[in-house]
Amino acid sequence: MVEVLRARDFPQSALQECLSQLAVIPLWIPDDAAIPGSYWGAPEAGIHNQQLMVRQDTPLHSLLHEAGHLACANRLGRRLTASDSGSDDDEECAVCYLQVLLAEHLPPPASRERLFTDMDAWGYSFREGSAERWFHGDGEDARRWLADRGLITANGKLSVTPERAIA
């Protein structure tokens, strides 16, 4: 298995504070339990009944990705109940872009660059060949998608807060 950053590499409080910007609160599952709503299976994060499900061994990129799906669905007024978010390709790219922005709101060792490395190592596939090249190239479409829906500002900063999220 590829070694990537995991939830256990951060205080739960730091993860919760980061995710609160999207009005997402993780539900922590015991380390030996299955993760409800995990599309790929444990240790990948899951979505179950509009809740982000994670364990300590959940990869950070997965935790941030599924949190992004919840934030996008909430903003669109769509309820997610299980592992498949029902998103289209544009939204999937927007979620990838959003997870990179979220990584910048966590303490080291998280960073934009480290998330790019972890996404590449885990097998995210982009036409440009790497997550970083995609982010700075075709990622512009994802940025516009997020800005058009009020998830980020025109200059690419997170703009969703709990009081502005659609539940």
Across the range 20-35, mean pLDDT stands at 92
> How many structural domains are present in the chain?
1
Q: What local confidence, expressed as pLDDT, does residue 84 receive?
A: 54
Classify residue 121: in a domain, yes or no: yes
Model pTM score = 0.89
Q: Which domain holds residue 108?
A: 7-148
Per residue in 126-165, pLDDT (tens digit) is: 888 899 999 999 899 999 999 998 899 988 888 865 444 4
- d(Cα 156, Cα 57) in Å, to the nearest integer? 30
- d(Cα 11, Cα 30) in Å, to the nearest integer? 16
For the CA atoms of 58, 59, 63, 65, the dihedral, rounded to the nearest 10 degrees, stands at: -140
Per residue in 33-85, pLDDT (tens digit) is: 999 989 888 899 999 888 899 999 999 999 999 999 988 887 776 565 555 55
Classify residue 1: in a domain, yes or no: no
